[in-house]
Amino acid sequence: MRNETAQHDITVVGGGLAGVCAAIAAARLGRTVALVNNRPVLGGNASSEVRVWVCGATGHGKNHHAREGGIMGELLVENQFRNPDGNPYYWDAVVLDAVRAEPGITLYLNTDVREVDAEGPDEARRITSVTGWMMGSERRIRFESPVFLDCTGDGLIGHLAGAHHRIGRE
Protein backbone atom coordinates (compact mmCIF):
# COMPACT_ATOMS: atom_id res chain seq x y z
CA MET A 1 0.00 0.00 0.00
CA ARG A 2 1.43 3.36 -1.03
CA ASN A 3 0.57 6.20 1.36
CA GLU A 4 -0.02 9.64 -0.16
CA THR A 5 -1.26 13.03 0.98
CA ALA A 6 -3.36 15.29 -1.24
CA GLN A 7 -3.94 18.91 -0.32
CA HIS A 8 -6.72 20.95 -1.89
CA ASP A 9 -8.82 23.99 -1.01
CA ILE A 10 -11.94 21.81 -0.89
CA THR A 11 -12.46 18.06 -0.69
CA VAL A 12 -15.80 16.78 -1.98
CA VAL A 13 -16.57 13.23 -0.92
CA GLY A 14 -19.24 11.67 -3.12
CA GLY A 15 -19.41 11.83 -6.91
CA GLY A 16 -23.16 11.83 -7.34
CA LEU A 17 -24.79 14.79 -9.03
CA ALA A 18 -24.65 16.90 -5.86
CA GLY A 19 -20.92 16.27 -5.47
CA VAL A 20 -20.22 16.82 -9.17
CA CYS A 21 -22.11 20.13 -9.21
CA ALA A 22 -20.42 21.26 -5.97
CA ALA A 23 -16.97 20.40 -7.32
CA ILE A 24 -17.57 22.18 -10.63
CA ALA A 25 -18.95 25.27 -8.86
CA ALA A 26 -15.96 25.43 -6.50
CA ALA A 27 -13.47 24.98 -9.34
CA ARG A 28 -15.14 27.77 -11.30
CA LEU A 29 -14.65 30.01 -8.27
CA GLY A 30 -10.90 29.37 -8.50
CA ARG A 31 -10.59 26.73 -5.80
CA THR A 32 -8.58 23.52 -6.09
CA VAL A 33 -10.91 20.59 -5.55
CA ALA A 34 -10.46 16.91 -4.77
CA LEU A 35 -13.54 15.03 -6.00
CA VAL A 36 -13.51 11.63 -4.31
CA ASN A 37 -15.91 8.90 -5.42
CA ASN A 38 -16.07 5.29 -4.29
CA ARG A 39 -17.35 4.03 -7.65
CA PRO A 40 -15.72 3.87 -11.11
CA VAL A 41 -18.29 6.26 -12.62
CA LEU A 42 -19.72 9.60 -11.57
CA GLY A 43 -23.39 10.41 -11.21
CA GLY A 44 -24.39 8.34 -8.19
CA ASN A 45 -27.93 7.05 -8.57
CA ALA A 46 -28.14 8.76 -11.97
CA SER A 47 -25.16 6.79 -13.32
CA SER A 48 -25.35 3.78 -15.62
CA GLU A 49 -24.80 1.58 -12.57
CA VAL A 50 -28.07 2.50 -10.84
CA ARG A 51 -30.08 4.22 -13.61
CA VAL A 52 -32.39 6.49 -11.64
CA TRP A 53 -32.77 9.02 -14.45
CA VAL A 54 -32.68 12.73 -13.84
CA CYS A 55 -35.96 14.33 -14.82
CA GLY A 56 -35.51 17.70 -13.14
CA ALA A 57 -38.14 20.40 -13.33
CA THR A 58 -39.78 18.95 -16.45
CA GLY A 59 -40.95 15.86 -14.57
CA HIS A 60 -40.33 13.71 -17.66
CA GLY A 61 -42.28 16.09 -19.86
CA LYS A 62 -45.21 16.83 -17.55
CA ASN A 63 -44.03 20.44 -17.11
CA HIS A 64 -42.86 21.00 -20.66
CA HIS A 65 -41.73 24.62 -20.23
CA ALA A 66 -39.92 24.11 -16.93
CA ARG A 67 -36.13 23.91 -17.12
CA GLU A 68 -33.19 23.34 -14.83
CA GLY A 69 -30.61 26.10 -14.65
CA GLY A 70 -27.04 26.31 -13.47
CA ILE A 71 -24.59 23.46 -13.71
CA MET A 72 -27.31 20.80 -13.70
CA GLY A 73 -28.96 22.57 -16.61
CA GLU A 74 -25.65 22.59 -18.48
CA LEU A 75 -25.31 18.83 -17.98
CA LEU A 76 -28.85 18.16 -19.18
CA VAL A 77 -28.48 20.33 -22.30
CA GLU A 78 -25.16 18.69 -23.17
CA ASN A 79 -26.77 15.28 -22.68
CA GLN A 80 -29.65 16.20 -25.00
CA PHE A 81 -27.15 17.24 -27.66
CA ARG A 82 -24.76 14.29 -27.37
CA ASN A 83 -27.19 11.63 -26.28
CA PRO A 84 -30.61 12.05 -27.94
CA ASP A 85 -31.43 8.36 -27.43
CA GLY A 86 -30.81 8.51 -23.67
CA ASN A 87 -28.03 5.94 -23.55
CA PRO A 88 -26.92 5.65 -19.91
CA TYR A 89 -23.27 5.17 -20.85
CA TYR A 90 -23.25 8.43 -22.82
CA TRP A 91 -24.71 10.19 -19.78
CA ASP A 92 -21.77 8.86 -17.74
CA ALA A 93 -19.43 10.38 -20.33
CA VAL A 94 -21.24 13.74 -20.25
CA VAL A 95 -20.81 13.96 -16.47
CA LEU A 96 -17.18 12.79 -16.57
CA ASP A 97 -16.28 15.20 -19.37
CA ALA A 98 -17.82 18.11 -17.44
CA VAL A 99 -15.60 17.31 -14.46
CA ARG A 100 -12.50 16.82 -16.61
CA ALA A 101 -13.14 20.17 -18.33
CA GLU A 102 -12.50 22.00 -15.05
CA PRO A 103 -8.74 22.40 -14.52
CA GLY A 104 -9.13 22.94 -10.76
CA ILE A 105 -10.62 19.48 -10.10
CA THR A 106 -8.53 16.41 -9.35
CA LEU A 107 -10.70 13.32 -9.69
CA TYR A 108 -10.21 10.25 -7.49
CA LEU A 109 -12.44 7.42 -8.73
CA ASN A 110 -12.68 4.05 -6.95
CA THR A 111 -11.55 5.73 -3.74
CA ASP A 112 -13.48 4.60 -0.70
CA VAL A 113 -13.26 7.00 2.25
CA ARG A 114 -13.60 5.18 5.58
CA GLU A 115 -11.47 7.26 7.94
CA VAL A 116 -12.10 10.80 9.16
CA ASP A 117 -9.91 12.84 11.50
CA ALA A 118 -11.79 15.55 13.38
CA GLU A 119 -10.98 17.72 16.36
CA GLY A 120 -12.68 20.02 18.80
CA PRO A 121 -15.70 19.87 21.07
CA ASP A 122 -19.10 18.76 19.75
CA GLU A 123 -20.39 22.28 19.18
CA ALA A 124 -17.27 23.32 17.22
CA ARG A 125 -16.01 20.05 15.72
CA ARG A 126 -13.88 20.41 12.59
CA ILE A 127 -12.72 17.81 10.09
CA THR A 128 -8.97 17.98 9.49
CA SER A 129 -8.61 15.13 6.98
CA VAL A 130 -10.31 12.14 5.42
CA THR A 131 -8.50 9.05 4.21
CA GLY A 132 -9.52 6.82 1.35
CA TRP A 133 -8.26 3.65 -0.23
CA MET A 134 -8.09 3.64 -4.02
CA MET A 135 -9.09 0.19 -5.14
CA GLY A 136 -6.98 -1.48 -7.79
CA SER A 137 -3.95 0.75 -7.32
CA GLU A 138 -3.19 0.05 -3.65
CA ARG A 139 -3.03 3.76 -2.82
CA ARG A 140 -4.06 5.04 0.60
CA ILE A 141 -4.68 8.76 0.21
CA ARG A 142 -5.07 11.26 3.03
CA PHE A 143 -7.01 14.32 1.87
CA GLU A 144 -6.27 17.53 3.75
CA SER A 145 -8.42 20.63 3.19
CA PRO A 146 -9.83 23.55 5.14
CA VAL A 147 -13.28 22.65 3.73
CA PHE A 148 -14.93 19.22 3.33
CA LEU A 149 -18.26 18.61 1.61
CA ASP A 150 -20.14 15.44 2.50
CA CYS A 151 -21.98 14.52 -0.67
CA THR A 152 -22.04 10.80 0.09
CA GLY A 153 -25.81 10.58 0.05
CA ASP A 154 -26.00 9.01 3.48
CA GLY A 155 -23.94 11.44 5.58
CA LEU A 156 -21.04 9.01 6.05
CA ILE A 157 -18.39 11.68 6.53
CA GLY A 158 -20.45 13.56 9.11
CA HIS A 159 -21.11 10.32 10.96
CA LEU A 160 -17.44 9.32 10.96
CA ALA A 161 -16.53 12.83 12.17
CA GLY A 162 -18.81 12.39 15.17
CA ALA A 163 -21.65 14.68 14.11
CA HIS A 164 -24.86 14.21 16.05
CA HIS A 165 -27.53 12.51 13.97
CA ARG A 166 -30.58 10.32 14.17
CA ILE A 167 -31.22 7.06 12.42
CA GLY A 168 -34.42 6.82 10.47
CA ARG A 169 -36.55 8.76 8.11
CA GLU A 170 -36.35 12.53 8.40
Range(s) of the domain holding residue 10: 2-160
Strands 126-134 and 139-144: antiparallel
Q: Specify the pLDDT at position 96.
A: 97
Q: What is the pLDDT of residue 169?
A: 63
Q: Is residue 153 over pLDDT 70? A: yes
- What is the spatial distance between Cα 93 and Cα 47, in angstroms, rounded to a whole number? 10
List phi, psi (to 5°) of 134.
-90, 110
Residue 165 included in any domain: no
- Could you report the per-residue pLDDT of 62-118, keeping only the tens digit for each? 777 777 889 999 999 999 999 999 888 899 999 999 999 999 999 999 999 999 999
119 neighbors 125 (Cβ within 8 angstroms): yes
Asked whether residue 129 is domain-assigned, the answer is yes
Tell me if 79 is assigned to some domain.
yes
| Residue 113's CATH number | 3.50.50.60
Contact 36, 116 (CB under 8 A): no
Tally of domains within the chain:
1
- C-alpha distances (whole Å) from 134 to each of 10, 39, 56 are 19, 10, 32
Residue 167 lies in a domain: no
For position 170, what pLDDT does the model report?
55
Q: What is the overall mean pLDDT for the chain? A: 92
pTM: 0.92
- Is residue 166 in a domain? no
Summarize pLDDT for 4-56 with one digit per residue, the tens: 999 999 999 999 999 999 999 999 999 999 999 999 999 998 888 888 877 77
Cα separation of 20 and 86, whole Å?
A: 20
pLDDT tens per residue, range 127-138: 999 999 999 998
Distance CA(9)–CA(46), nearest Å, equals 27
Please state, in angstroms and as integers, the Cα–Cα distance from residue 119 to each residue in 23, 30, 161, following that order.
25, 27, 9
Say what the pLDDT of residue 91 is: 93
State the DSSP code for 103: T
Does a structural domain hold residue 123?
yes
* Any domain includes 18: yes
Does a structural domain hold residue 168?
no
Spatial separation of the C-alpha atoms in residues 34 and 79, rounded to whole Å: 24
